[in-house]
């Protein structure tokens, strides 16, 4: 009889467990949330002000970021979002993924996390998501940290597009003759697209001598890049995406840090200079001998530089 009473008491206690006792959406670890009708995966690491960090959107999952940017966990609670169709996130039933879709997902995630404002960090095409979010939801942004950022990509303004392509091509020519360049360039210009996610991944890894300043530094992140999942479906859904932020930059009011690399073929320094001129009060950190992943190639200059600039952006430290 006592056993029965105890069992009933435990059952009633479980039924009475308040909603707040459920796992917090900001608890460290991996999460899945239904946002805008899709199951999207995100990972939480660190402690401090919340910083939402989407993947670039065209295919790679978050591991290359979450496994290599861990020193930032001393400053932020980093929330790495696998954008729709990438990593652990669901593929939408649509023909395209638009910038509006990405921004809507960021806003839904912010609301799901239960924070009124957040920092937004992006890398490469992820920076366009962060800036577009800041344009649409300025009251929700504490600050922006833009790593190897884009001002333009497949810009309808042909003159702007030509300028950036010329800057990238000039850097590309400087790398010609380096070990591994010829084989990397052959993949870079490959006329035939990959047919599987794994082949797509291998294509991206094979262009290391082009996207790194010193490809030997890539060995520091071998484990991270091996764990990244690449999504061909995400690539095809975003292949027509156009970025033309230059005319709107004056509308971004959030405190902004722009981190650029001196030898980045994909997002040349010229892009960062345009962003710096266009976003009032923005700060610019240039890693001279860095490629597309400066925090891996030059960790001291990168992390020390970011930490030094954060107070100038109004960063208040751990909560």
- For residue 319, tell me if it sits in a domain: no
pLDDT score of 9 more than 60: no
Structural domain boundaries, residue 92: 22-313
| Structural domains counted in the chain | 1
- Tens of pLDDT, residue by residue over 134-185, are 999 999 999 999 999 998 877 776 676 777 778 788 888 888 988 999 999 9
Q: Is residue 14 part of a domain?
A: no
Which among 150, 123, 138 has a CA at the least distance from the CA of 245?
150
Q: Among 115-119, 166-170, 315-319, name the one with the lowest average pLDDT.
A: 315-319
| Calpha distance 109→115 (Å, rounded) | 9
In a domain, 185, yes or no: yes
| Residue 22 scores a pLDDT above 90 | no
305 is a domain residue: yes
Tokens of 53: 């960090």
Is 153 a domain residue?
yes
Mean pLDDT, range 215-238, rounded to an integer: 96
Q: What is the pLDDT of residues 34-71, one digit of tens each?
A: 999 999 999 999 999 999 999 999 999 999 999 999 99
Give the separation between CA 180 and CA 166, rounded to whole angstroms: 22
CA–CA distance, 151 with 118 (Å, rounded to integer): 22
Residue 9: count of CB within 10 angstroms of its CB: 10
Q: Average pLDDT in the 67-79 region?
A: 98
Choose among 57, 58, 56: nearest CA to 200. Answer: 58
Residue 124's CATH number: 3.40.50.1820
Residue 237 phi, psi (nearest 5)? -70, -20
As a dihedral over the C-alpha atoms of residue 240, residue 254, residue 294, residue 242, rounded to 10 degrees, the angle is 10
Which is it for strands 283-287 and 256-261: parallel, antiparallel or unpaired? parallel
| Low-confidence winner among 117-126, 193-202, 248-257 (lowest mean pLDDT) | 193-202
Residue 272 predicted with pLDDT over 70: yes
Is 6 contained in some domain?
Answer: no
Residue 75 maps to a domain: yes
Structure tokens at 137: 């939801």
Going from the C-alpha of 232 to that of each of 62, 94, 115, the distances in angstroms are 15, 15, 33
Q: Are strands 38-46 and 29-35 parallel, antiparallel or unpaired?
A: antiparallel
- Confidence at residue 168, expressed as pLDDT on a 0 to 100 scale: 80
Question: Is 239 contained in some domain?
Answer: yes
């Amino acid at each position: 009889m006592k056993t029965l009473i105890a069992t009933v008491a435990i059952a009633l206690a479980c039924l009475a467990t308040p909603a707040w006792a459920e796992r917090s959406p900001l608890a460290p670890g991996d999460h899945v949330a239904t946002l805008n009708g899709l199951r999207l995966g995100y990972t939480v690491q660190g402690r401090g002000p919340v910083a939402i960090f989407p993947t670039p959107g065209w295919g790679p999952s978050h591991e290359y970021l979450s496994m290599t940017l861990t020193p930032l966990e001393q400053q932020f609670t980093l929330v790495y979002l696998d954008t729709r169709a990438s990593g652990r996130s669901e593929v939408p039933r649509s023909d395209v993924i638009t910038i509006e879709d990405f921004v809507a997902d960021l806003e839904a995630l912010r609301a799901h996390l239960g924070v009124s404002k957040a920092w937004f960090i992006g890398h490469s095409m992820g920076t366009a998501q962060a800036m577009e979010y800041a344009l649409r939801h300025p009251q929700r942004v504490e600050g922006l940290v833009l790593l190897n950022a884009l001002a333009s990509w497949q810009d309808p303004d042909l003159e702007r597009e030509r300028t950036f392509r010329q800057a990238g091509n000039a850097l590309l020519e400087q790398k010609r003759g380096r070990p591994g360049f010829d084989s990397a360039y052959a993949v870079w210009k490959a006329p035939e697209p990959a047919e599987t996610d794994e082949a797509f991944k291998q294509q991206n890894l094979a262009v290391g001598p082009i996207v790194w300043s010193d490809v030997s530094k890539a060995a520091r992140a071998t484990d991270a890049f091996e764990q990244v999942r690449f999504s061909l479906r995400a690539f095809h859904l975003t292949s027509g995406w156009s970025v033309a932020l230059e005319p709107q930059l004056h509308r971004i009011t959030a405190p902004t840090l722009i981190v650029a690399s001196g030898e980045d073929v994909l997002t040349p320094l010229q892009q960062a200079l345009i962003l710096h001129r266009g976003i009032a009060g923005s700060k610019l950190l240039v890693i001279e001998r860095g490629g597309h992943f400066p925090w891996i190639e030059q960790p001291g200059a990168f992390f020390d530089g970011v930490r030094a600039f954060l107070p100038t952006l109004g960063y208040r430290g751990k909560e």
